[in-house]
């Protein structure tokens, strides 16, 4: 969208028959629909600004419904329930039921993270092409807030004493596939974004956003070539000169943007022999050593009947959450895992046929590299399916088996083999301090001139709003390198600044509350 709006001629080669990658909607027999990967939408402002640059309005293209409650948390150790809401008075009352002393920590937490996010805007909205980029004065000021030896959980302990309350504001580290006990303290801003700006459901699922982007792109002249897998990137004179598709044809280009999973795609699209005479920052050997997020075991269930008491999003936090996380990091399958359940029909009846429900069940598990050969998913999947269904009893769902009318299982091996995700790590490269900023694959891929990267495996990182911000960074770099002028925001939006800005001037995203 952004490249075409700036005047570039753009062709998209997509190996599947539909757009969106993991951010798409699965259409299942019987009229059941499921999000494949992401199941909610945070901070619409970034994408709204991208649409505006391209002469469109996000609210005209996608119907977003703000959720209240945002999600329901169930703490298995004592059965306590917290309905998370951005209504601060109600949220304080909910926290007080867990820990009266912690209710007063909510507003200071939000104020601190409001300032933290503002300070980190220069970090999240710019490219990092070398260590020298860290020497910018504004970035150095922001990095002082990083507390590099402090985890998300430890940082939250300054506001909340009760470990359950800290979990309510730290389980979001799972969006990055990381442990809140190891994830850098910067990422307390994830929970802040939810409470400050809301959690949204796009009607039709997150694939509706991808489809809207495709419509706008095509209106701008982008050619979408579906069912055309790319086999390799072609080079001439040491620079990317196009791509070779599976049919053996070469398609010339002045630049190539790779949005496939980084650690899966780069060794295949750009063999190490091509990079050998350039900077070795991301050689095949380093790609092989890279640290990855966890994976997920998935059940997509079309079920007869409705669940009127089930929230749109429900998270079961396992009794020994820290042990659960440690097992996953060690490559061990948890026997009493945490889980996440989406019941999209609570907000969007169109996700299932009348009288039925589409349930999306996610269990965090080790990625294939962490587990090695210890988990044979071909034999393990039936047992773990049974375990996951049994765990639903903690959410008040019993005897679901006889009501299942459609079912699909996705294991870490499926994520790797069917969906082309390195090591089945569904949240991409880990976001530890050794794989952030210039230590993360760059938006302009220095190892291969003419190649640019987008997606969760590159800077700034994972999560839809962050990925969209990364796409904006990449597009601006490429537009400048091509000698074009980037598309500008309309004045009404442009005067409010970049992607991480105040919600006060945002469109009325609450209209569907």
Mean pLDDT score across all residues of the chain: 89
Residues of the chain above pLDDT 90, percent: 74
DSSP-assigned letter for residue 7: T
Q: CB–CB of 244/230 below 8 Å?
A: yes
Task: For residues 420 and 438, state if they share a domain.
Answer: no
Task: For residues 434 and 402, state if they share a domain.
Answer: no
Q: How confident is residue 178, by pLDDT bands cut at 50, 70 and 90? A: confident
H runs (alpha helix) in 125-171: 137-143, 152-156, 163-168
Task: For residues 223 and 264, state if they share a domain.
Answer: yes
Q: How far apart are CA 3 and CA 420, in angstroms?
A: 25
H runs (alpha helix) in 24-144: 45-53, 58-61, 88-98, 106-124, 137-143
Domain boundary among 137, 166, 194: 194
Domain boundary among 194, 225, 258: 194
The pairing of strands 64-66 and 41-42 is unpaired
Q: Confirm whether 87 is domain-assigned.
A: no
Dihedral angle sign, alpha carbons of residues 80, 86, 88, 89:
negative
**Can you give the pTM of this predicted structure?**
0.91
Helix, strand or coil for residue 300? Answer: strand
Task: For residues 317 and 402, state if they share a domain.
Answer: yes
Task: For residues 358 and 416, state if they share a domain.
Answer: yes
**In degrees rounded to 5, what are phi and psi of residue 511?**
-60, -25
Q: Confirm whether 408 is domain-assigned.
A: yes
- Is residue 504 scored above 60 in pLDDT? no
Q: Confirm whether 93 is domain-assigned.
A: no
pLDDT digits (tens, 9 = 90+) for 256-306: 999 999 999 999 999 776 655 444 578 888 888 899 999 999 999 999 999
And the tokens for 357?
């429900």
Task: For residues 285 and 309, state if they share a domain.
Answer: no
Domain boundary among 374, 409, 424: 424
Please report, for the domain that includes residue 245, its CATH number.
3.50.50.60
Q: How far apart are CA 160 and CA 100, in angstroms?
A: 10
Q: How confident is residue 511, by pLDDT bands cut at 50, 70 and 90? A: very low
Dihedral angle sign, alpha carbons of residues 43, 69, 62, 505:
negative
Q: Confirm whether 42 is domain-assigned.
A: yes
Of the two residues 286 and 136, the one the predictor is more confident about is 286
Identify the pLDDT of residue 496.
36
Total domain count, the chain: 3
Task: For residues 132 and 208, state if they share a domain.
Answer: no
**In degrees rounded to 5, what are phi and psi of residue 162?**
-70, 125
In the numeric block, the tokens 């980037």 are attached to 486
Task: For residues 123 and 161, state if they share a domain.
Answer: yes
Q: Confirm whether 319 is domain-assigned.
A: yes
Instruction: Examine residue 171 and say whether the peptide bond preceding it is cis (omega within 30 degrees of 0).
Output: no
Q: Confirm whether 263 is domain-assigned.
A: yes
Q: How far apart are CA 381 and CA 385, in angstroms?
A: 6
Task: For residues 401 and 345, state if they share a domain.
Answer: yes
CB atoms within 10 A of CB 446: 15
Task: For residues 338 and 403, state if they share a domain.
Answer: yes
Identify the pLDDT of residue 431.
83
Q: How confident is residue 491, by pLDDT bands cut at 50, 70 and 90? A: low
Of the two residues 135 and 53, the one the predictor is more confident about is 53
Instruction: List the single range of 28-42, 180-194, 343-357 with lowest mean pLDDT.
Output: 180-194
Could you tell me the residue range of the domain that residue 51 belongs to? Answer: 2-66+202-290+430-497
Task: For residues 9 and 113, state if they share a domain.
Answer: no
DSSP-assigned letter for residue 222: P
Give residue 76's Cα distance to chain centre.
26
Q: Confirm whether 88 is domain-assigned.
A: no
Rg (CA), the chain: 22
Identify the pLDDT of residue 274.
60
Q: Confirm whether 90 is domain-assigned.
A: no
- Is residue 324 scored above 60 in pLDDT? yes
Identify the pLDDT of residue 276.
53
Element (H, E) at 371: helix 368-371
Q: How far apart are CA 375 and CA 384, in angstroms?
A: 11
Per-residue CA distances from 86 to 68, 75, 106, 313 (Å): 8, 20, 11, 15
Query: Counting beta carbons within 10 angstroms of the beta carbon of residue 227, is it exposed (0 to 12), middle (13 to 18) or buried (19 or more)?
Result: exposed
Instruction: Examine residue 460 and say whether the peptide bond preceding it is cis (omega within 30 degrees of 0).
Output: yes
Task: For residues 305 and 275, state if they share a domain.
Answer: no
Q: How far apart are CA 456 and CA 259, in angstroms?
A: 9
Distance from the first to the final alpha carbon of the chain: 29
């Amino acid at each position: 969208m952004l490249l075409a709006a700036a005047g570039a001629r753009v062709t998209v080669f997509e190996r599947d028959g539909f757009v969106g990658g993991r951010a798409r909607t699965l259409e299942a027999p019987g009229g059941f629909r499921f999000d494949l990967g992401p199941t909610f939408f945070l901070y619409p402002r970034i994408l709204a600004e991208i649409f505006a640059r391209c002469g469109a309005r996000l609210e005209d293209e996608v119907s977003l419904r703000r959720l209240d409650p945002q999600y329901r948390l169930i703490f298995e150790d004592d059965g306590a329930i917290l309905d998370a809401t951005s209504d601060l008075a109600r949220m304080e009352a909910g926290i007080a039921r867990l820990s009266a002393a912690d209710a007063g920590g909510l507003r200071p937490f939000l104020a601190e993270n409001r300032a933290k996010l503002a300070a980190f805007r220069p970090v999240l909205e710019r490219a990092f092409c070398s260590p020298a980029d860290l020497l910018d004065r504004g970035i150095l000021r922001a990095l002082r807030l990083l507390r590099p030896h402090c985890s998300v959980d430890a940082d939250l302990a300054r506001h909340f004493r009760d470990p359950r309350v800290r979990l309510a504001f730290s389980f979001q580290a799972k969006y990055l596939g990381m442990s809140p006990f190891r994830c850098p303290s910067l990422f307390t801003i994830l929970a802040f974004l939810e409470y400050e700006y809301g959690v949204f459901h796009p009607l039709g699922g997150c694939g509706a956003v991808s489809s809207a982007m495709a419509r706008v792109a095509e209106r701008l002249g982008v050619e979408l070539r579906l069912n055309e897998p790319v086999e390799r990137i072609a080079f001439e004179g040491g620079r990317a000169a196009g791509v070779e598709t599976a049919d053996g044809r070469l398609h010339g280009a002045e630049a190539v943007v790779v949005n496939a999973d980084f650690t899966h795609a780069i060794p295949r699209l750009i063999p190490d022999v091509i990079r050998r005479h350039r900077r070795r920052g991301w050689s095949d050997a380093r790609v092989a050593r890279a640290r990855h997020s966890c994976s997920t075991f998935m059940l997509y269930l079309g079920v007869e009947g409705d669940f009127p008491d089930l929230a749109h999003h429900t998270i079961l936090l396992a009794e020994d959450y820290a042990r659960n996380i440690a097992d996953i990091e060690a490559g061990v399958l948890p026997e009493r895992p945490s889980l996440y359940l989406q019941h999209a029909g609570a907000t969007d009846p169109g996700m299932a046929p009348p009288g039925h429900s589409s349930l999306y069940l996610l269990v965090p598990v080790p990625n294939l590299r962490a587990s090695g050969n210890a988990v044979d998913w071909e034999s393990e999947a039936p047992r773990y399916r049974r375990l996951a269904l049994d765990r639903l009893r903690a959410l008040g769902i019993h005897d679901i088996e006889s009501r299942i009318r459609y079912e699909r299982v996705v294991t870490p091996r499926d994520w790797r083999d069917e969906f082309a995700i390195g090591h089945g790590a569904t949240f991409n490269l880990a976001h530890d301090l050794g794989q952030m900023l210039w230590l993360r694959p760059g938006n302009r891929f220095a190892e291969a001139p003419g190649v640019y990267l987008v997606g969760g495996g590159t800077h700034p990182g994972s999560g839809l709003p962050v990925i969209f911000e990364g796409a904006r960074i990449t597009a601006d770099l490429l537009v400048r390198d091509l000698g074009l002028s980037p598309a500008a925001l309309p004045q009404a939006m442009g005067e409010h600044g970049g992607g991480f800005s105040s919600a006060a001037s945002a469109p009325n995203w609450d209209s569907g509350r």
